[in-house]
Structure 1
Amino acid sequence: MKKSLLLVALLSAGVAFAGPPAPHQGGIESKDYKWNAQEGEKIEALKLKGDKKNGQEAYEVCGACHLPSGAGRPDGTFPQLAGQHTTVLIKQMADIRAGLRDNPTMYPFAATLTDPQELADVSSYIESLCIPIEHGKYEGPDAAMQIAKGKELYEKQCLECHGKNGEGEKAKFYPVIAGQHYKYLLRQMTEIRDGHRRNANPDMVKVIKPYTNDQLVAISAYQSSLVMPGNMCKPKAGAAATKKK
């Protein structure tokens, strides 16, 4: 079945979606938790070369929520995916499929990927997309102050892993955060701090655990202001996202 037809079938099915697997016994609350164990379909997908053309077709299902451009939603309901490292995408999708990350909204769509090769294909396609310039940023009247406070926190504790421009590190599974929506960043960091993101990196949990709500607002405001030179979409109003060259 073509992905476009499958998408229609999924969206029309509504309550007929199969539920996600039971939560895996592992997770940050477990003493045996291994953040990035090299096993299962994840490790198989990481060994494969992704086919962007096939990945574009597979992505049609994802585009219903994350948009064809990979821009996601500024209100933070769905993250910006475009330009994300394949390693990060593969890990997160594999974790959702395996019940290591609780995301009942995404699970039915992630479950449509048939095997490690398709996981590699769609991740390769998403990584090739340029990062949208227009995305959800902190818009409070105190934006300049919040960004300045967030910059200080970021450079002290986040820069080493996520990079000066929010570029992350592909080999270490550290995500790109440049171009990400403020509200999504704030929600995820709050969930990590509060122990609700079960597949979180324990090192990041340690960093975020002491943060107050105000500090999370500030650092999310700063992170959402970051851009990656050479990876951003061209500033052309109303134009569809193009692939990075």
Structure 2
Amino acid sequence: MKKLIAGVVLGLGLSMTAHGAGDPEAGEANAGVCAGCHGQNGAAPVMAAYPKLAGLGETYLVQQLRAIRDGERPIPEMTGMLDDMSDEDLQDLAAYFDQTEMPVSQASEENLEQGRSLYKGGNLASGVAACAACHNPEGKGNGPAGYPHLGGQNAEYVIKSLKAYRDGERNGAPQSQIMVDIASRLTDTEIEAVANYISGLN
């Protein structure tokens, strides 16, 4: 597992040198179509099952946008929306959303401690790695490595994503295999607890 993580981080780090940072102003010109679902500046989705895009990380965002455009990550709601965008357009769009701060959601007290324990320490008994190892103890992610900012993300979206990883429905991005392995070891209860904790993390 450690070798897998190291290999992915190295590969993503090398890929970062292959392209420059995007232009947020150019990205803003194409961002209007996104607001209908993800809200103004990608910070207030119209449904909790949609992700906040604000501040996720430019590298992560451009990877996901390309995967969606190229059909590697099918999302029915986004079918055709990125078809006419070039790699540069997507890089600019990612840069635009990344410059905005992600607002923090309100976590429930119900399973907060279980979620905190999983996020910070994992589960040794089932082999679940701590989320903080890749996504930062404060949920700020690891931009250069392509690990997204999680703190403040909608809990419902995190649940949806973890279950998609666990079921093998999300496996197209470079770091997806790490998440598939981790999510496959999580129970529904654990997924709900860690998603709740993440939603209030900052």
Q: TM-score, normalised by structure 1?
A: 0.68
Query: What do you get for the CA RMSD once the two structures are aligned?
Result: 2.6
Matched, 1:152 2:123: no
Q: 1:74 to 1:150 in 2, by over 3 A?
A: farther
Listed as ranges, the gaps of 5+ residues in structure 1 are: 1-33, 228-245
Matched, 1:100 2:75: no
Match of 2:195 among 216, 220, 224: 220
In the alignment, what sits opposite 1:125? 96
- 1:224 partner amino acid: S
Greater shift in the superposed pair: 211-220 or 193-202: 193-202
Contact kept, 8 Å, 2:155 with 2:195, in 1: the verdict is yes
In the alignment, what sits opposite 2:4? none
Shift of 1:132: 2.0
In the alignment, what sits opposite 1:62? 34
Q: 1:45 to 1:160 in 2, by over 3 A?
A: closer
Q: How many residues align?
A: 184
- 2:143 partner amino acid: K
CA distance in 1, matches of 2:34, 2:46: 16
- 2:38 partner amino acid: H
In the alignment, what sits opposite 2:125? none
In the alignment, what sits opposite 1:205? 180
Rg (Cα) greater in structure: 1
Shift of 1:100: 1.1
CA distance in 1, matches of 2:110, 2:180: 25
In the alignment, what sits opposite 1:88? 60
Q: 1:145 to 1:44 in 2, by over 3 A?
A: closer
Q: 1:129 to 1:207 in 2, by over 3 A?
A: same
CA distance in 1, matches of 2:35, 2:46: 15
- 1:219 partner amino acid: V
Shift of 1:112: 3.5
Contact kept, 8 Å, 1:147 with 1:221, in 2: the verdict is yes
- 1:210 partner amino acid: R
**Secondary structure of 1:153's aligned partner:** helix
Contact kept, 8 Å, 2:56 with 2:148, in 1: the verdict is yes
- 1:166 partner amino acid: G
Q: 1:44 to 1:98 in 2, by over 3 A?
A: farther
